[in-house]
Every structure is written in C-alpha cells, then in structure tokens.
Amino acid sequence: MDASESPLSTSPSQPPSLSPQRHFYLAVDRLQFKMETLLGLLGMAGRRPCLPMIVCCSTRDELDAVCSNLSSLSSYVSVSPLYSDLSEVDRAEVLDKFRQATMTWNRLGRGEEAEREADQEQKSHIVVVTDACLPLPGTVEVPLCACMLINYGLPTKKETYMRRMTACLSADGIVISMVVGGEVVVLKNLEENSGLVIAEMPINIFEMI
C-alpha cells in the first residue's frame, strides 16, 4: 500500500483503543449559506473546552473570510490563521500553540475535566489553513493531530484530501467535508478513488469526539 494511504487504514500496529478516522459530509443547499453553516457547526463544537480543530480552505480569500467571521465566536474559540507570508517565527508559534492545545485536550481526558482549568485553557482552538501552508512532510514540522478536520473548501483530488489528513488529523479524528450543490459529484469521485465511505454527518457528531 502506498504510504500516502496509510492514515486511512487501520494497520496491525495501530493501538486497538483507537478507532479509524471517520469521514462525513455536510450538505449545504446554497453557497451563500456555507459560511453561516460553518459558524453554526463551529459554534457547537467550540463549546467543547480545549477541543483542537482545523479548517482547511482552498484559497487565501476563503481563509480570510473564515477568519473574519470566526471572530464572532472569540469568547470561547481561539483562532489562528496559517498564512503563506507568515514569518518562520510566527508560523512556528502558531504550530506550537496548536500542539499545546492538543496536549491540553489529551491531558484533560478529552475535555471532560476542562472546566477545572484556568480560563485561558478553556477555549477550543482552531487553525485555519490553506493547502500551501500545511505542515510539510519530511521536515521538522510534525502533524498537528487535530480531533476534527473541516474541509471548508472541498478538495477535488484524492491526493489533496489525504495530504490534509496526514498533516492535520489524529489517528481517531473526524473529517467533515462541506458540500455545496454540484460538489456532490466531486465528493463521490473522492469516495470512489480513495476507497473511503463518506457518510452524511450525523446529528450526534460531537458525541463521537
């Protein structure tokens, strides 16, 4: 099996306590409702203290729009954009801050005791990133290991979908791909080409985290 596909499979060496990554789609009727739907989704997920999440965008314009709109959730969500023009120092700070968030999430029993922690540790943490700015394989940058990866911009190629997972998602993480109108065809192609089953997002999605 190609190494790029390994994150999608459950290998014999994978700890039995970890379930495979789970893949879902969230259908949006019209493009103008997409941002509103994302804010509703993150508004619910973000209330899980310390939850580490990543939103992947296809373009810089999408990233800017997402970051601007997420400011409305700032009371309980911390947002860090990964821009292509960030300095190395600033980029390293964003990546380190997110890794600290994942460590806090794991230390607190996946958020169950987070309310006992200081206020600055209570916020969920989101990194918003484009494909050009994902952590690079074969470098000192290690995967971010988010509990939830949201594809705000649906990738059109299997390689891009897998690249996002490899760079961003924990072994038992959840992928939610937002799908608008004609993108259903793109989603089906991704599903067929990758051998995945991408199911409709269940109402109890946050109980699975």
Backbone angles phi, psi at 41, to 5 degrees: -65, -50
Spatial contact of 143 and 166, defined as CB atoms under 8 Å apart: yes
Task: Write out pLDDT tens, residues 53-85.
Answer: 999 999 999 999 999 999 999 888 999 999 888
Q: What is the mean pLDDT of residues 180-195?
A: 91
Domain residue spans of the chain: 33-171
**Residue 121's pLDDT band (cuts 50, 70, 90):** low
Q: What is the mean pLDDT of residues 183-194?
A: 92
Name the CA dihedral angle for 86, 147, 35, 78, rounded to a multiple of 10 degrees: -50
Sign of CA dihedral 120, 121, 123, 129: positive
User: d(Cα 121, Cα 102) in Å, to the nearest integer?
Assistant: 11
| Largest separation between any pair of C-alpha atoms in the chain | 46
Task: Indicate if the pLDDT at residue 124 is higher than 60.
Answer: yes
What class does CATH assign to 33-171?
alpha beta
Q: Could you tell me which residues come within 8 angstroms of residue 9 by beta carbon, excluding any fewer than 6 positions away?
A: 1, 20
- The string of DSSP codes covering 44-61 is HHTTSTT-EEEEEESSHH
Task: Indicate if the pLDDT at residue 178 is higher than 50.
Answer: yes
Task: Indicate if the pLDDT at residue 108 is higher than 50.
Answer: yes
Give the model's pLDDT for residue 180. Answer: 95
Helix (H) or strand (E) holding 160: helix 158-168
Give the model's pLDDT for residue 163. Answer: 92
Task: Write out pLDDT tens, residues 4-29.
Answer: 333 333 333 333 333 456 999 999 98
Spatial contact of 155 and 189, defined as CB atoms under 8 Å apart: no
Distance between terminal CA atoms of the chain?
Answer: 28
Nearest to 142 by CA among 167, 171, 116: 167
Q: What is the mean pLDDT of residues 165-186?
A: 92
Lowest mean pLDDT among 18-27, 154-163, 198-207: 18-27
